[in-house]
């Protein structure tokens, strides 16, 4: 009898000792996902005026119905009860297609850092090149009547706090949003001790995972 009592006490002590270790080893995860392909064609070589029109059309476009989310990405978020997204139609549609059974937590806080078409006369380029030039100039201070880098960085910090808090409560959080703003959020998560798995790329449905023990 004494041996049984001693064994039971030892097992209880082991359980109590193991519980903090399990908590300490728990991993919280934040998944940052870029939206799918918008339902508009990529413009050919165009002027700065054409790129300005393309920016407007891009902001209005929803998800291309032919661009289904990858199966492995669906599996990654399948267990989540809720998914964050911006209120841009392309992001909202993508979140709905990716996690049809999850609650969508829509917040304009997660919108893309904006671009403005630089007025460079006589120059014609394809849209992706215009986007690179516009982003470089945005960082250099060209932000006519749009959000600047400092404000976008502050917004990304707020977004990182929301996602980290949700991950701390639920174990994981996912955001379906925008390529560059996801990158800004990711930098903030790194500053909060999260480790990155994957790379932020200009690829639709691109996913980067951040984890913290």
Contact between 183 and 177 under an 8 Å Cβ cutoff? The reply is no
Poorest-pLDDT segment among 21-25, 170-174, 195-199, 201-205: 21-25
> pTM of the prediction?
0.87
pLDDT digits (tens, 9 = 90+) for 22-58: 444 589 999 999 999 999 987 679 999 999 999 999 9
pLDDT of residue 13: 40
Residue 184, token pair as written in the block:
């800004």
Measured CA to CA, the distance from residue 77 to residue 103 in angstroms comes to: 12
Q: Measuring CA to CA, which residue among 189, 58, 162 is closest to residue 105? A: 162
pLDDT digits (tens, 9 = 90+) for 44-101: 799 999 999 999 999 999 999 999 999 999 999 999 999 999 999 999 999 999 999 9
Burial of 114 (0-12, 13-18, 19+ CB in 10 A): middle
- Whether 104 shows a pLDDT value over 50: the answer reads yes
pLDDT digits (tens, 9 = 90+) for 139-184: 999 999 999 999 999 999 999 999 999 999 999 999 999 999 999 9
pLDDT of residue 154: 98
Which fold does the domain 28-212 belong to in CATH? Rossmann fold (3.40.50)
Each domain of the chain, given as residue ranges in start order, spans 28-212
What is the average pLDDT score of the chain?
Answer: 90
Residue appearing with tokens 């728990």: 26
- Whether 18 shows a pLDDT value over 70: the answer reads no
Mean pLDDT (whole number) for 180-208? 97
Residue 140, token pair as written in the block:
């250099």
Q: At what angle do helices 179-191 and 149-170 cross, to 10 degrees?
A: 70
Nearby residues of 123 by Cβ (< 8 Å), 6 or more positions away: 47, 48
pLDDT of residue 163: 98
């Amino acid at each position: 009898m004494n041996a049984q009592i001693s064994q039971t006490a030892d097992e209880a002590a082991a359980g109590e000792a193991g519980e903090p270790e399990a908590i300490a080893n728990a991993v919280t995860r934040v998944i940052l996902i870029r939206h799918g392909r918008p339902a508009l064609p990529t413009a050919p070589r165009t002027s700065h005026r054409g790129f300005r029109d393309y920016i407007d059309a891009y902001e209005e476009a929803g998800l291309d119905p032919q661009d289904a989310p990858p199966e492995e990405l669906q599996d990654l978020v399948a267990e989540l009860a809720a998914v964050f997204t911006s209120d841009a139609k392309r992001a909202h549609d993508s979140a709905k297609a990716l996690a049809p059974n999850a609650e969508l937590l829509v917040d304009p806080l997660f919108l893309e850092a904006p671009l403005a078409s630089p007025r460079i006369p006589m120059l014609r380029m394809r849209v992706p090149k215009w986007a690179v030039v516009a982003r470089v100039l945005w960082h250099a201070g060209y932000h006519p009547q749009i959000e600047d880098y400092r404000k976008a960085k502050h917004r990304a910090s707020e977004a990182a706090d929301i996602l980290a808090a949700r991950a701390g409560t639920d174990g994981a959080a996912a955001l379906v949003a925008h390529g560059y703003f996801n990158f800004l959020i990711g930098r903030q998560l790194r500053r909060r001790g999260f480790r990155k798995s994957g790379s932020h790329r200009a690829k639709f449905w691109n996913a980067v995972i951040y984890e913290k023990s």
